[in-house]
Structure 1
Amino acid sequence: MPDAPRPTLLFVVTEDWYFRSHRLPTARAARDAGFDVAVACRVANDGAAIAAEGFRVIPLPWRRRSFNPLRALGDIRRLTRLYRRERPTIIHHIAVKPTVLGGFALALAGLRDTRVVATLAGLGLGLSGPGLKAGLGRVLLRCALNAAAWRRGHALVVQNGDDGALLAAGWPRPPAARLIRGSGVDLAHYEELADPMGPVTCAQVSRMLTLKGVEDLVAAVRQVRDQGIDLRLILAGSPDPDSPAAIPEATLRAWNAEPGIEWLGPVNDVRTVWSRAHIAVLASRGGEGVPKSLLEAASCGRAIVATDVPGSREVAVDGRNALLAPPRDPAALAAALTRLALDAPLRRRFGLASRSVVDPDFGETEVRRRMRDLYLGLVTPVPAPSRR
C-alpha cells in the first residue's frame, strides 16, 4: 500500500523577516514531526533563507501598515483562494492581521476538515489600549476568531496571560486561549556573558519605533547624564519604514551625534550588544507579546529595566531581575536607570537571576515541544468511546 500523504501545515504571517526571526524553530519542529510546511507571507529579503530550510514560500502582496477596508477585502479574497487551492491540514495564523483576515477567509473557504491555530504575539497598542477604537478592534478580532472556530480542532494561543484575559472579558467570547510564552530563545546560543568593562552602559534592541518607547528612553538617559552620571546608551535596530510609528533616520542620526548615545542600526548578532552593555532596556509603551529582545538579554545574564506593560513583565520580574517603570514616563525610567547604574551589586544580582527566569520555561526547546504537541494533537484522531 502506498504511504499515507504527510499532513500539511501552512503558516500565514505578514513578513518574511519576522517568520525567519521568530518562527523558524517552530517550523523546524513541525517538519521533524512529519509535516510538509509552507509559509505564506510578504517576501522581501528572507524568502530564500526560508526556502533553504525546505519550506515552500508563497508570496502574499500585503503590508503591515495597510489595513484600509477595500484592501482588507482584497486580502480576504486572496486568502480564500489560497486556502481552497492548498487545502492544508492545519493553518497557523500568526499575529493580529493574519488572524483577522484569515479567520474570515476560512469561513468563506468552507474547509471544514482544516484545523486552525491562531497565535497572537501581542495585541499591539491599537487593540490593547483603552478607548472606543481599541474596543471595536477587539470585537472585530473576536469575531474573526469565532468565524474560524466553528470547525473541529481550533486553537488560540496567547503569549501572556494579560492578553488572554483582555480577550476573554468582552463580547463575543472567543475560543478559550492556551498560554505558550513567547517564540523561544536558544539558550545554548545566548550564554551568560561576563560583565563588560568601562562606563555603565544600557542598551535597547528593538525596531526604532515610537511605540517601543525609544524617544522616552533617550529622554531618560539625557536626564541621568544631566545629573553627572556617565551612563551610556546603545540603540540597536532599524527604523522599519513600513510602520507608521517609525522614527525618522534623521532623528536617529542626530541622537547618535549626542555624547553618550550610539545608534548601531540593525545588528546581525545581538550578543555583540550584550557583551558591551550592563543593563538591558525595553521602554515599550505596550502591546507586547513576550519581547524576544528581553529573552535574549536575560539569557545573556543582563539586569533589566523595562516598562510595566503586559508581555515585558513576563521576563522582567520587578525586584527579581528587573526594575519596572510606568510607560511614557522618562523621569521614572531615569530613576530606575540611575539606581542600577550606581549599584553594581544589584546589577550583578539581577543579572544572575535573569538566566533563571528564562531557563527552561522560555527556552526554544520547551516552546518547540509545546507547539509540536499542539500540532500533533490537532491531527491525531480521537479514539471512539468503547462499547460494552
Structure 2
Amino acid sequence: MKIVYIANTDWYLYNFRRNLMVAAQESGHDVLALSPPGPYGARLNDLGISWQPLEMNRSGTNPLEELKCVWTLSRILREKQADLVHSFTIKGTLHGSLACIAARTRARVNAVAGLGFIFTSGSLKARLLRFPVGLLLKVAMGGANTRVILQNPDDVRAIQQASLAPENNIRLILGSGVDCIRFSPRRSPAEPESISVLLAARLLRPKGIEDFVEASRLLRKQGASIRFLLAGTPDPGNPDSIEESSVREWVKEGLVEWLGHVEDMPSLMSEVDVFVLPTYYGEGLPRSLIEAAASGLALITTDIPGCREVVSHEEDGLRVPVRDPQSLASAIRRLDNDRELTVRLGNAAREKATQLFDERIVVEKTLAVYKELDVAETELDAVTLR
C-alpha cells in the first residue's frame, strides 16, 4: 500500500512515529510523510523516509486558509495515489479525512492522542470552536473503511458518549510506544543526598508547569534542597504557552533549573530520580511519562485520563489531584524521605513499561490495523468484481 502520514509538526513525526514508518516500509509499504516545514523533515529523509513539507497552520482558524490546506492535501493524495492516510491529532484528523474524502482515498486511520485544546480549554475560542469541530469530527471518524486509534479507555468512552465515531471504527492502542532498550535504568536510583526531580514537556500551562514551580517554592520554604529540573521550550503555536520571560524569572528565583530543549532524553533521565507530570491537559497517553517509566524512575502524575493507564497509585508511582501544588509537593517530599519507596516504584514502573508500552507492541498493533483495512478493501473489490 501507499501510506501517507500527516502531522502538524515534523518534530512529532520524527520523535514519535519514525519507527512506525520504518516498520511500515520494512513490511513492504510505500511511505510518504507530510508536515509543516522544520528541521526534522531532513532527518526523516536521511532515515530513508520520504518527507515533504505541507503548508499547515497548527493554530489557524481562518476558514479560507484551512480549506486551502485541505485542497492541497487532496491534490497530493491524488498525485501520489495514496491507498491509506494515517493522520495524527485532531487537526490532522480533520484535514486528512476531508482531503481523503475529496481525493477518494481508499482508507484512513485517525490517531487522536487526547482531546486537545478545543475540548479541554475553558477559553472563549475553544468553546466557540467545540461545536463545529465536533460536527466535522463525526464526518472524519465515520465511514466503513475508517479506523480511529485512541490511547486510553477514558477517551474511548468520551468519543462513544459524544457519538463522534462508530464503535466498530475505534481501536485502543496504549500510546505511541517507547524504545525500552534505549530508555533503560543506568544507575542506582536515589543516590544523592537529595533527590532530583524532572518535568519534561512543552511549556504549556495545562501541562502543570506552574504547579511544578509552586511545589518547588513550597518545599524550599520547608528547607528542602531538592533539585527541580525543567526540560522543554515554549510553544508559540499554542495559546496556552508559557512565556520564556516567566521561565527565566523562575530560574532567577532559584526555583528551577531550565534545560531548554533536550535532544538526548535517555541520558537526562538516567541522571534523575523522579519524573513529575502534574498535567491537566487532554492527554492521550503521555510519551514523556512512559519514557520515564522505561527509565526506571519513580513517577508522580495527576489522576486524569491517560496518566491513569501509566501510573497505578502506590504500585508504580503516585497520583495527585490536578492543580494542587501542595499535594504535589507532599508527594515529592515523601519520595525524598523514603528512598526504598522511590526505588520500588521505579522498578515497578520499568516492568510495566516493558510489558505494555514498548514501541514494538504499538507498531505491531498499528500495522495490524493497516492490514485490517487492506483486507476489508480487498474483500470489497472482490465483491464489486463479482
Fold match (TM-score > 0.5): yes
TM-superposed deviation, 1:52: 1.5
1:87 to 77, 81, 86: 81
TM-superposed deviation, 1:135: 9.3
Are residue 241 (structure 1) and residue 253 (structure 2) matched? no
In structure 1, the residue matched to 2:248 is 253
| Alpha-carbon distance in 2 for matches of 1:308, 1:126 | 21
Aligned residues of 2:75 and 2:103 also touching (Cα < 8 A): yes
| Alpha-carbon distance in 2 for matches of 1:294, 1:97 | 24
- Per-residue CA deviations over 1:272-323 (Å, capped at 9, x if unaligned) read 3223321100011121111111111111111111111111221122111111
1:32 to 15, 26, 36: 26
Worse-superposed segment, 242-251 or 348-357: 242-251
Residues 147 and 353 of structure 1: CA distance in aligned 2, closer, same or farther (over 3 Å): closer
TM-superposed deviation, 1:145: 4.4
- Per-residue CA deviations over 1:48-68 (Å, capped at 9, x if unaligned) read 111112222121111212223
| Alpha-carbon distance in 2 for matches of 1:369, 1:108 | 30
Are residue 378 (structure 1) and residue 373 (structure 2) matched? yes
Are residue 42 (structure 1) and residue 36 (structure 2) matched? yes
| Alpha-carbon distance in 2 for matches of 1:117, 1:363 | 21
TM-superposed deviation, 1:147: 4.3
TM-superposed deviation, 1:209: 1.5
Calculate the TM-score normalised by the size of structure 2. Answer: 0.91
| Alpha-carbon distance in 2 for matches of 1:252, 1:373 | 43
In structure 2, the residue matched to 1:334 is 329
In structure 2, the residue matched to 1:170 is 162
1:20 to 3, 11, 14: 14
In structure 2, the residue matched to 1:220 is 215
In structure 2, the residue matched to 1:3 is none
Residues 165 and 187 of structure 1: CA distance in aligned 2, closer, same or farther (over 3 Å): same
| Alpha-carbon distance in 1 for matches of 2:173, 2:42 | 28
In structure 2, the residue matched to 1:149 is 142
Aligned residues of 1:122 and 1:288 also touching (Cα < 8 A): yes
Aligned residues of 2:93 and 2:140 also touching (Cα < 8 A): no
Are residue 190 (structure 1) and residue 183 (structure 2) matched? yes
TM-superposed deviation, 1:139: 6.3
Q: Which letter maps to 1:177?
A: I
In structure 1, the residue matched to 2:107 is 115
In structure 2, the residue matched to 1:364 is 359
Q: Tell me how large the CA RMSD over aligned residues is.
A: 2.2
Aligned residues of 1:321 and 1:353 also touching (Cα < 8 A): yes
Runs of 5+ unmatched residues, structure 1:
1-6
Q: Counterparts in 2 of 1:49-128, with a 5 A limit?
A: 49-111=43-105, 114-128=106-120
Runs of 5+ unmatched residues, structure 2:
none
1:271 to 249, 266, 270: 266
Q: Quote the sequence identity (%).
A: 33
Q: Which letter maps to 1:268?
A: E
1:9 to 3, 8, 23: 3
Between Structure 1 and Structure 2, which shows a larger proportion of helix residues? 2
- Per-residue CA deviations over 1:315-356 (Å, capped at 9, x if unaligned) read 122111111112222122112222222111211111111111
